[in-house]
């Protein structure tokens, strides 16, 4: 069994006929069977889907209420062997009161009835005319009523346990309330919230509803499955266009198409592991859960058909996995990039003002990282209304510096109007080799790190000379892998790129080049930036060839940064195991990397991530820009001597399975 924590859920919008219970249940049954064939474990239908929502005063007709109960009993018998938990809407009479209710059904039985808490009083659907609002006392458990020939739990505070997760139900207007019932459901343990709705269409309403549901999903750190009435409801005064959404912790996973004349079924896989990881780290959520005094009843729905196999995927996912989780995917990509850049800028501005530094010093190699750091410095000076010549950019060619990167570094600094220093480190390194009796032909780690430390010494000494700060250029991916020379490029006085992974660095430089935050409109600057973006990543510490071209490529040595950033994100953000990250990577990088390649670089990632923690334990200050960061003072407090054996052993097992 592939247990990766995914639960397949669905929201359905069946065609309905007003007050035709038999027709409506036939449509519901067909969709349930179809969903089961696609591996769905829980499916939600719209509000009052058995009768239709827009019956109006027909709800006062005893015949309609009885017909609904009778046809539900038939549906239960006909779906008893279908391994799907389904949630449908019906009107239920109890003690001469009528309740707009949701039935949670499984294995031929109604396992719980959840009445609606908040009833709308809008002119177009004044529910209080027909239905009663139901509020459970915080001290009272749900009661039991008889429905469809069985005693059934009835109340708003019921959790349904399917073994791999718990879920709860609210109905339409409930989520619009000041404190939705789902808030209590979530803090009491529900990972999934199902909402049966019948919301009519109005101009601009859809975006508001999506925002509302997305926010509630994020606030509750839950999966939120919403199904609203569609074609077939009465159009006497309003129109229902069929809105269905599946959210996970604020992220939209799937949505229906509006204004459709046929039934719709949307489905996706909710990552329950992800939700649990988010809740575990969120002390606010945990604190709220600890003070929740509502007395919930728990109905357990465990069977071979549902619980034991609820995470069975057979290698298939009904959702996309973003191969670049650090890259903004919001509707307003420009605004997200702007925010990241401004966070870097503000952090550096504060440090510059606080220290009363008179200059900013940084090494400019002609590569992506130093380019981004330089652009941050330039924009910081502009924002503080300081001359750009307080920035001292230093290019320090050595044994491995290529003609391409050297020329790009020179052009970029000149066109940006900063102070330019060029200091060749070749002679100094050769002298150092003599001092420590190292053979210059032995191009090993000593040979490479000598150059990095020589450059750092130059920058630090220039900072003393110019009463300035050394601005670090290293990025978060390099920190994760330890791809930095200890006490070399590992050290600075403020690391502006410390919260930016390598994949994002390239995107930011490209965005700055092509969009509104560009530092210059100069054509030459843009041309240089574009060439830097296209230059392969290299430490340039080994000698160039006879034509001055680089011979050392970082990703040939440690692996593709897009894979490492993917591993880093899911390791730090959610604490996923190598097995699950490997599964996600297979989907994210399908047709890009073979499974053996993914496992090869995953092993390198974990080996380096654990062994290089000592560098992160003393890393310089730098601004956090996203949900993942490696600062030992904040997000990541890992012992420098932690052992990677558990993670590496799992990778070895994965290798054997993939052979």
Query: Catalytic amino acids?
Result: 47, 116, 172
CA distance 196 to 45: 6
List Cβ neighbours of 122 (8 Å cut-off, separation of 6 or more): none
CA distance 275 to 508: 29
Q: Helix or strand or coil: residue 159?
A: strand
Question: Hey, which bits of 29-134 come out as E strands?
Answer: 42-44, 85-94, 97-106, 109-115
- 296: closest CA among 112, 149, 148, 109? 112
CA distance 149 to 236: 36
φ, ψ at 486 (rounded to 5°)? -60, 130
CA distance 578 to 574: 12
Per-residue DSSP letters for 409-441? HHHHHHHHT-EEEE---HHHHHHHHHHTT--TT
Three-state SS for 174-228 is HHHCCCCHHHHHHHCCCCEEEEEECCCCCCCHHHHHHHHHHHHHHHHCCEEEEEE
CA distance 217 to 223: 6
Per-residue DSSP letters for 254-311? EEPPSS-SS-EEEEEEEEHHHHHHHHHH-HHHHHHHHT-----EEEE---TTTTTTTT
CA distance 105 to 122: 31
CA distance 65 to 486: 75
CA distance 274 to 276: 5
List Cβ neighbours of 583 (8 Å cut-off, separation of 6 or more): 2, 4
CA distance 458 to 460: 6
Burial of residue 109, with CB atoms counted within 10 A of its CB: 0-12 exposed, 13-18 middle, 19 or more buried: middle
| CA distances for 572 relative to 195, 269, 302, 575, angstroms | 32, 22, 32, 5
List Cβ neighbours of 261 (8 Å cut-off, separation of 6 or more): 231
Question: Hey, which bits of 2-149 come out as E strands?
Answer: 6-13, 42-44, 85-94, 97-106, 109-115, 143-147
Across the beta sheet with 192-197, the strand order is 251-255, 244-248, 223-228, 192-197, 166-171, 158-161, 297-300
Beta bridge partners of 244: 227
**Phi-psi label, residue 377: left if phi above 0, alpha if psi -120 to 50, beta otherwise:** alpha
- 496: closest CA among 284, 346, 282, 321? 346
Structure tokens at 351: 């440090």
Structure tokens at 187: 């803090």
Interior CA angle at 250 toward 193 and 257, to 5°? Answer: 80
Q: Helix or strand or coil: residue 484?
A: coil
Three-state SS for 542-555 is CCCCCCCCCCCCHH
| CA distances for 455 relative to 263, 449, 461, 494, angstroms | 66, 10, 10, 16
């Amino acid at each position: 069994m592939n247990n990766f924590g995914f639960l397949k859920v669905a929201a359905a919008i069946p065609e309905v006929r007003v007050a035709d219970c038999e027709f409506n249940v036939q449509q519901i049954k067909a969709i349930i069977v179809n969903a089961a064939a696609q591996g769905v474990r829980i499916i939600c239908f719209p509000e009052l889907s058995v009768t239709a929502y827009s019956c109006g005063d027909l709800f006062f007709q005893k015949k309609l209420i009885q017909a609904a109960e009778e046809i539900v009993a038939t549906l239960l018998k006909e779906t008893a062997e279908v391994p799907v938990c389904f949630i449908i809407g019906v009107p239920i009479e109890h003690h001469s009161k009528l309740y707009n209710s949701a039935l949670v059904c499984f294995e031929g039985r109604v396992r719980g009835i959840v009445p609606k808490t908040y009833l709308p009083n809008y002119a177009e659907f004044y529910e209080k005319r027909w239905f009663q609002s139901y509020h459970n006392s915080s001290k009272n458990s749900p009661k039991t009523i008889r429905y469809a020939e069985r005693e059934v739990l009835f109340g708003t505070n019921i959790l349904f346990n399917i073994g791999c997760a718990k879920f709860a139900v609210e109905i339409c207007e409930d989520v619009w309330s000041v404190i939705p019932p789902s808030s209590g459901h979530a803090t009491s343990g529900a990972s999934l919230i199902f909402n049966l709705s019948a919301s009519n269409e109005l101009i601009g309403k859809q975006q508001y509803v999506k925002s509302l549901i997305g926010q509630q999903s994020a606030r509750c750190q839950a999966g939120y499955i919403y199904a609203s009435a569609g074609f077939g409801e009465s159009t006497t005064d309003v129109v229902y266009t069929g809105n269905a959404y599946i959210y996970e912790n604020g992220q939209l996973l799937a949505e229906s198409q509006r204004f459709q004349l046929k039934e719709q079924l949307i489905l996706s896989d909710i990552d329950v592991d992800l939700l649990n990881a988010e809740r575990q780290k969120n002390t606010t959520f945990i604190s709220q859960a600890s003070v929740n005094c509502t007395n919930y009843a728990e109905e357990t729905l465990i069977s071979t058909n549902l619980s034991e196999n609820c995470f069975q995927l057979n290698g298939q996912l009904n959702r996309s996995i973003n191969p670049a989780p650090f890259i903004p995917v919001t509707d307003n990509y420009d605004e997200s990039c702007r925010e990241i850049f401004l966070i870097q800028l503000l952090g550096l501005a504060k440090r510059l003002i606080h220290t009363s530094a008179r200059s900013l010093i940084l090494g400019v190699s002609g590569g992506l990282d130093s380019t981004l750091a330089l652009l941050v410095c330039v924009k910081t000076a502009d924002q503080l209304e300081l001359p750009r010549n307080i920035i001292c950019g230093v290019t320090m060619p050595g044994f491995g510096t290529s003609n391409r990167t050297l020329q790009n570094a020179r052009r970029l600094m000149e066109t940006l109007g900063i102070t330019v220093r060029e200091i060749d480190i070749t002679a100094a390194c050769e002298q150092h080799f003599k001092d420590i009796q190292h053979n210059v032909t032995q191009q090993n780690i000593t040979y490479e790190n000598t150059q990095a430390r020589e450059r750092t010494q130059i920058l630090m000494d220039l900072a003393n000379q110019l009463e300035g700060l050394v601005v670090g250029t290293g990025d978060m991916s390099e920190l994760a892998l330890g791809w930095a020379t200890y006490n070399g490029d590992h050290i600075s006085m403020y690391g502006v790129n410390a919260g930016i992974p390598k994949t994002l660095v390239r995107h930011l430089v490209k965005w700055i080049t092509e969009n509104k935050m560009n530092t210059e409109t100069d054509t030459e600057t843009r041309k240089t930036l574009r060439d830097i973006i296209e230059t392969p990543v290299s430490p340039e510490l080994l000698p160039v060839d006879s034509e001055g071209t680089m011979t050392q490529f970082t990703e040939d040595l440690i692996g593709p940064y897009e894979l490492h950033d993917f591993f880093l994100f899911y390791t730090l953000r959610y604490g996923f195991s190598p097995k699950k990250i490997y599964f996600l990577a297979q989907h994210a990088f399908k047709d890009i990397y073979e499974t053996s390649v993914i496992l090869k670089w995953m092993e390198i990632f974990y080996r380096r991530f654990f062994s290089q923690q000592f560098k992160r334990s003393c890393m310089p200050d730098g601004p956090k820009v996203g949900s993942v960061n490696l600062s030992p003072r904040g997000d990541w407090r890992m012992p420098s001597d932690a052992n990677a054996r558990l993670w590496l052993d799992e990778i070895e097992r994965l290798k054997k399975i993939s052979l």
